[in-house]
């Protein structure tokens, strides 16, 4: 009885989510006048409000980019801060149109959770941070450690797999709220904090009382491709989000930035003409203005600009491009053709 009830409940969620998505999200967003975007409740570099409620971050910029693609205005977006437990019900129910919240794309999330993932906006992996005073140099030295971890995440599952695979034991301190996980670590309740390496860098830079008192260990124990997500059932909306991400990557490939984009207006390159909308067709295919990609790059920037201002070497996070470099520079960032 219990398993039958749970199966029926899960099916009902998927059917409900499909019905919500099938209501033509683009039309709903246009009628409302803004994109409702689900983001992290507070992760420096990715989704973080200041004291005045102004949101910044790499994930936030992709919310703004989708708003620009539709409205030509980066301010036509409202943000819904979501915990790890809240994020999937919020996108399934239609509370938000788009989830851009450092979320790992996985098979089960793509299927049973009912999500379609846009292209990856940050290739990440799970790591460990420890107080420098412990003198730990490797995750292989963490046998018997107490580890702070957020519940309802791939982080929690990866942690168990890693320690089991290396014949080590650990004492988990599992907490729902990311802020409370960080607070527990900095209060000394745990020896170790684990999450995505980008998240550790953001926490060390933005939350640690003395950032230099903490070190991120060299081991990366998982693949965490972080990507925006939408509900199943609305292909046009998925296409818009997907190609908005690709537009930022393609612009970097072309060498087009928010500052120099107007210099390409008279380009004779047919690929650039299609991209900027001077040769029509790409906008119509998505149900958008022909200058949608031009607007995205002009008002939000290309991928390099988004990366550098939020998480790059010149920010408190000091992250290098690494896997997030273009494919032409040894990374994984690659846009499908605009044709």
Tell me if 334 is assigned to some domain.
no
Rama region for 34: left / alpha / beta (φ>0; ψ in -120 to 50; rest):
beta
Tell me if 335 is assigned to some domain.
no
Tell me if 188 is assigned to some domain.
yes
pLDDT value of position 182: 95
Last residue of a domain, one of 222, 249, 283: 222
Q: Which residue has the higher pLDDT, 51 or 223?
A: 223
- For the entire predicted model, the pTM comes to 0.89
Same domain, 138 and 119: no
Q: What's the number of domains the chain is made of?
A: 2
Structural tokens at position 324: 């997030």
Same domain, 202 and 105: no
Same domain, 7 and 132: no
Q: What is the mean pLDDT of residues 283-305?
A: 98
Domain with residue 247: its CATH number is 3.40.190.10
Residue 3 has pLDDT above 60, yes or no: no
Closest to 96 (Cα-Cα) out of 178, 32, 43: 32
pLDDT tens-digit series, residues 206-224:
999 999 999 999 999 999 9
**Residue 141, C-beta contacts closer than 8 angstroms, at least 6 positions apart:** none
Same domain, 65 and 140: no
Q: What is the mean pLDDT of residues 151-170?
A: 95
3-state DSSP of the chain:
CHHHHHHHHHHHHHHHHHHHHCCCHHHHHHHHCCEEEEEECCECCCEEECCCCCEECHHHHHHHHHHHHHHCCCCCEEEEEECCCCHHHHHHHCCCCEECCCCECCHHHHCCCCEEECCCCEEECEEEEEEHHHCCCCHHHCCCEEEEEECCCHHHHHHHHHHHHCCCCEEEEEECCHHHHHHHHHCCCCCEEEEEHHHHHHHHHHCCCCHHHEEECCCCCCCEEECCEEECCCHHHHHHHHHHHHHHHHHHHHCCCCCCHHHHCCCCCHHHHHHHCCCCCHHHHHCCCCCHHHHHHHHCCCHHHHHHHHCCCCCCCCCCCHHHCEHHHCCCECCCCCC
Residue 334 has pLDDT above 90, yes or no: yes
Same domain, 87 and 155: no
Tell me if 165 is assigned to some domain.
yes
Same domain, 243 and 316: yes
Same domain, 20 and 99: yes
Q: What is the average pLDDT value for the chain, to the nearest integer?
A: 93
Tell me if 104 is assigned to some domain.
yes
Last residue of a domain, one of 192, 222, 252: 222
What pLDDT band is residue 135 in, cutting at 50, 70 and 90?
A: very high
Beta strands 224-226; 122-124: pairing state: antiparallel
Q: What is the mean pLDDT of residues 31-56?
A: 95
pLDDT > 70: what percent of the chain? 93
Q: Which residue has the higher pLDDT, 176 or 331?
A: 331
Residue 17 has pLDDT above 90, yes or no: no
Q: What is the mean pLDDT of residues 9-27?
A: 56
Domain around 206: 126-222
Same domain, 135 and 211: yes
pLDDT value of position 51: 86
Residue 16 has pLDDT above 60, yes or no: no
Count the alpha carbons within 13 Å of 14 in the hemisphere toward its beta carbon.
Answer: 15
What pLDDT band is residue 23 in, cutting at 50, 70 and 90?
A: low
Residue 1 has pLDDT above 80, yes or no: no
pLDDT value of position 12: 46
Residue 36 has pLDDT above 50, yes or no: yes
pLDDT value of position 10: 41
Same domain, 239 and 113: yes
Residue 4 has pLDDT above 80, yes or no: no
Contact 182, 111 (CB under 8 A): no
Q: How many CB atoms neighbour CB 338 within 10 A?
A: 19
Tell me if 53 is assigned to some domain.
yes
Same domain, 235 and 94: yes
Last residue of a domain, one of 190, 222, 254: 222
The structure tokens 């794309």 sit at 105
Tell me if 247 is assigned to some domain.
yes
- Helices 303-310 and 58-71, axial angle in degrees (round to 10): 140
Q: How many CB atoms neighbour CB 308 within 10 A?
A: 16
pLDDT value of position 105: 97
Same domain, 86 and 160: no
pLDDT tens-digit series, residues 104-114:
999 999 999 99
Residue 15 has pLDDT above 50, yes or no: no
Closest to 238 (Cα-Cα) out of 293, 284, 286, 191: 286
Same domain, 99 and 235: yes
Q: Which residue has the higher pLDDT, 14 or 27?
A: 27
Tell me if 81 is assigned to some domain.
yes
Structural tokens at position 131: 């107080």
Q: Which residue has the higher pLDDT, 181 or 51?
A: 181
Residue 19 has pLDDT above 60, yes or no: no
pLDDT tens-digit series, residues 264-280:
999 999 999 999 999 99
């Amino acid at each position: 009885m219990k398993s039958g009830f749970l199966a029926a409940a899960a099916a009902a969620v998927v059917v409900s989510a499909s019905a919500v998505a099938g209501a033509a999200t683009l039309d709903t967003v246009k009628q409302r006048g803004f994109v409702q975007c689900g983001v992290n409740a507070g992760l420096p570099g990715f989704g973080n409000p200041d004291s005045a409620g102004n949101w910044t971050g790499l994930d936030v910029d992709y919310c703004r980019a989708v708003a620009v693609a539709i409205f030509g205005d980066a301010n036509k977006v409202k943000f819904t801060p979501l915990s790890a437990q809240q994020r999937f019900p919020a996108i399934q129910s239609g509370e938000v149109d788009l989830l851009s919240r450092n979320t790992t794309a996985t098979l089960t999330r793509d299927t049973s959770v009912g999500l379609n993932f846009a292209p990856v906006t940050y290739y990440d992996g799970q790591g460990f941070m420890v107080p420098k005073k412990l003198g730990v140099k490797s995750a292989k030295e963490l046998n018997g450690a107490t580890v702070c971890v957020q519940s309802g995440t791939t982080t929690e599952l990866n942690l168990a797999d890693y320690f089991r695979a290396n014949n080590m034991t650990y004492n988990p301190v599992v907490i729902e709220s990311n802020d409370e996980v960080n607070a527990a670590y900095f209060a000394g309740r745990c020896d170790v904090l684990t999450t995505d390496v980008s998240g550790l860098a953001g926490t060390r830079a933005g939350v640690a009382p003395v950032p230099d008192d903490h070190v991120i260990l060299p081991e990366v124990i998982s693949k965490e491709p972080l990507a925006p997500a939408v509900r199943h059932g609305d292909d046009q909306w998925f296409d818009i989000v997907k190609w908005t991400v690709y537009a930022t990557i393609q612009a970097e490939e072309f060498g087009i930035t928010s500052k120099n984009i107007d210099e390409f207006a008279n380009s004779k390159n047919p690929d650039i003409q299609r991209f900027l909308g001077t040769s029509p067709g790409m906008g119509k295919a998505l149900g958008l203005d022909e200058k949608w990609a031009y607007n995205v790059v002009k008002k939000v920037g290309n991928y390099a600009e988004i990366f550098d201002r939020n998480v790059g070497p010149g920010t408190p996070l000091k992250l290098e491009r690494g896997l997030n470099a273009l494919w032409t520079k040894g990374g994984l960032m690659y846009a499908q053709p605009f044709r």
